[in-house]
């Protein structure tokens, strides 16, 4: 069986994408390259081009079609950019391929909440069945709760997801393992997201049991995820494909350095 990733390995997001790939590789390596009797291969695809300087619609489409045309495909990690997912998701959805994003936050990919565009999210799911999940919280709309007032009124930086400073023991162990493997003590945070994306798919394959080579069965298990002890905390995947762990890390600038302040939950979640 094969798990593909489609991430921008050129351009502005290259460092984040490479970190995500390294994280995914580490997760599969720690699993021994297998789930039960199934051997799992990993193929990293680049959804960017030098000419585009980042993700490219044509390349993104080509990647999705490559995975869709491979009978061994059991999972797809991508995309990093929400715009790229708008291209690949309908193609992967038609093929019934489970897709897990390590980077998307756009509201309209999973819901018609404030911030979604016309026809979203239904236009991404031509089969009418959800095949996409993400491990980062979706964007919030200030008119729909937004951040706590004391954060919104101050000049602070907010980043979706659990801050490394608040990782549980599993996350701290991941950082040690990543350093041992790649020599990086403080990797880009997308290393964790790549690792967890791969881990979630592998876990779903395991929970699917004898049907671990069946896309529909694996997809069912992804959406059945509840109380999973991930590297950044305990979470589930809701019916829309959104992660149930929704904190934002809050950072401030001190002496020219970005310093962790605290984590907050968007109001209304």
For residue 156, being part of any structural domain is answered with no
Cα of 144 vs its chain's centroid, Å: 24
Average pLDDT, integer, range 16-33: 98
Is residue 96 over pLDDT 90? yes
For residue 155, being part of any structural domain is answered with no
- The model's pLDDT over 65-77, given as tens digits with 9 standing for 90+, comes to 999 999 999 999 9
For residue 219, being part of any structural domain is answered with yes
Q: What DSSP element (H or E) covers 250? A: strand 248-254
Is residue 196 over pLDDT 80? yes
Q: What confidence score (pLDDT) does residue 21 get?
A: 99
Q: What confidence score (pLDDT) does residue 152 get?
A: 42
Q: Distance (Å, rounded) from C-alpha 120 to C-alpha 109?
A: 7
For residue 252, being part of any structural domain is answered with no
Mean pLDDT estimate for the chain: 90
202 — phi, psi (to 5°)? -60, -40
Domain enclosing residue 97, as ranges: 2-140+166-245
* Contact between residue 10 and residue 178 where contact means Cβ atoms under 8 Å apart: no
pLDDT grade, residue 156 (50/70/90)?
low
Comparing 246 with 219, the larger pLDDT belongs to 219
For residue 266, being part of any structural domain is answered with no
Q: What confidence score (pLDDT) does residue 109 get?
A: 98
Domain with residue 182: its CATH number is 3.40.50.2300
For residue 228, being part of any structural domain is answered with yes
Count: domains in the chain: 1
For residue 157, being part of any structural domain is answered with no
For residue 235, being part of any structural domain is answered with yes
């Amino acid at each position: 069986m094969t798990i593909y990733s489609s991430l921008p390995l050129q351009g502005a997001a290259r460092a984040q994408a490479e970190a995500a790939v390294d994280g995914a590789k580490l997760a599969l390596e720690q699993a021994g390259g297998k789930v039960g009797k199934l051997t799992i291969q990993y193929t990293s695809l680049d959804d960017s081009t030098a000419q585009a300087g980042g993700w490219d619609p044509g390349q993104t489409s080509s990647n999705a079609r490559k995975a869709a045309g491979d009978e061994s495909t059991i999972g797809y990690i991508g995309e990093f950019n929400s715009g790229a997912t708008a291209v690949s998701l309908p193609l992967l959805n038609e093929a019934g391929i489970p897709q897990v994003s390590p980077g998307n936050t756009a509201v309209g990919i999973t819901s018609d909440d404030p911030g979604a565009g016309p026809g979203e999210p239904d236009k991404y799911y031509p089969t009418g069945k959800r095949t996409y999940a993400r491990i980062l919280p979706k964007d919030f709309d200030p008119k729909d709760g937004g951040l706590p007032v004391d954060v919104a009124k101050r000049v602070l930086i907010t980043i979706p997801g659990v801050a490394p400073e608040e990782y549980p023991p599993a996350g701290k162990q991941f950082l040690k393992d990543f350093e041992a493997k790649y020599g990086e003590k403080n990797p880009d945070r997308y290393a964790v997201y790549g690792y967890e994306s791969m881990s979630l798919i592998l876990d779903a394959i395991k929970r699917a049991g004898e049907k671990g080579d069946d896309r529909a069965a694996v997809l069912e298990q992804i959406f059945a995820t509840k109380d999973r002890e991930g590297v950044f905390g305990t979470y589930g995947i809701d019916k829309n494909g959104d992660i149930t762990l929704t904190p934002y890390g809050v950072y401030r600038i001190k002496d020219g350095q970005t310093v962790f302040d605290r984590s907050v939950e968007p109001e209304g979640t």
